[in-house]
Amino acid sequence: MSASKFRVVPFDKNFDRTTFNCGSEALDRYFQQQVSQEIRRRVTACFVVLTQDQMIAGYYTIAATSVPLTGLPPDIAKKLPRYPLVPAVRMGRLAVDHSFKGLGLGSALLADALHRAFLSDIAAYAMLVDAKDDEAAAFYQHHGFITLPDSPLSLFLPLATASGF
């Protein structure tokens, strides 16, 4: 992503979302109709990538979550303290408008989310994502995410390994 052409900023309800089209109706509808209310209720945060002329090229949402220790792969779980829940950050949604696909914006948004989670004063062991289908799961795997043993569309990345993003 060229730093001069795009910038990632917190969501603002005054941005024009009406024409956003990532190819997934559910992700478009959520962004156009629901995200504002969820931000107001503090159940999610949202960041968008803007073009120089303020067009929204993509967005992601991020919120606190946890994962059961027993849900992690055993070789990872055995290195963690025996608390039942492991603190994590969930990237709930990630979408890039179809006219900006393949430019590296999906990776840049993912890196931005990992960076914010990594720098937070509030500890989280990993970032979790729920892929909407196998293609989305492949995108996350391409970026080093590991599938949770019991749910193939849920993936995680320990934030310690993501520090180089």
Ligand X SMILES: CC(C)(COP(=O)(O)OP(=O)(O)OC[C@H]1O[C@@H](n2cnc3c(N)ncnc32)[C@H](O)[C@@H]1OP(=O)(O)O)[C@@H](O)C(=O)NCCC(=O)NCCS
Footprint of ligand X on this chain (CB under 6 A)? Answer: 22-24, 27, 94-96, 101-107, 131-132, 135-136, 138-139, 142
Smallest distance, Å, CB 48 to ligand X? 13
**What DSSP letter does each residue of the chain carry, written as one string?**
--TTTEEEEE--TTS--TT---S-HHHHHIIIIIHHHHHHTTS-EEEEEEETTS-EEEEEEEEEEEEEGGGS-HHHHTTS-S-SEEEEEEEEEEEE-GGGTTSSHHHHHHHHHHHHHHH-SS--SEEEEE-SSHHHHHHHHHTT-EEETTEEEEEEEETTTTTT-
Smallest distance, Å, CB 104 to ligand X? 4
Q: Is 140 a known active-site residue?
A: yes
In the complex with ligand X, the residue whose CB is nearer, 72 or 137, is: 137
In the complex with ligand X, the residue whose CB is nearer, 33 or 70, is: 33
Smallest distance, Å, CB 40 to ligand X? 23
Instruction: Report how far residue 62's alpha carbon sits from residue 90's, in angstroms, rounded to the nearest whole number.
Output: 6
In the complex with ligand X, the residue whose CB is nearer, 65 or 69, is: 65
Smallest distance, Å, CB 127 to ligand X? 13
In the complex with ligand X, the residue whose CB is nearer, 23 or 152, is: 23
Residue with the shortest CB distance to ligand X: 106
Residues with a known catalytic role: 140
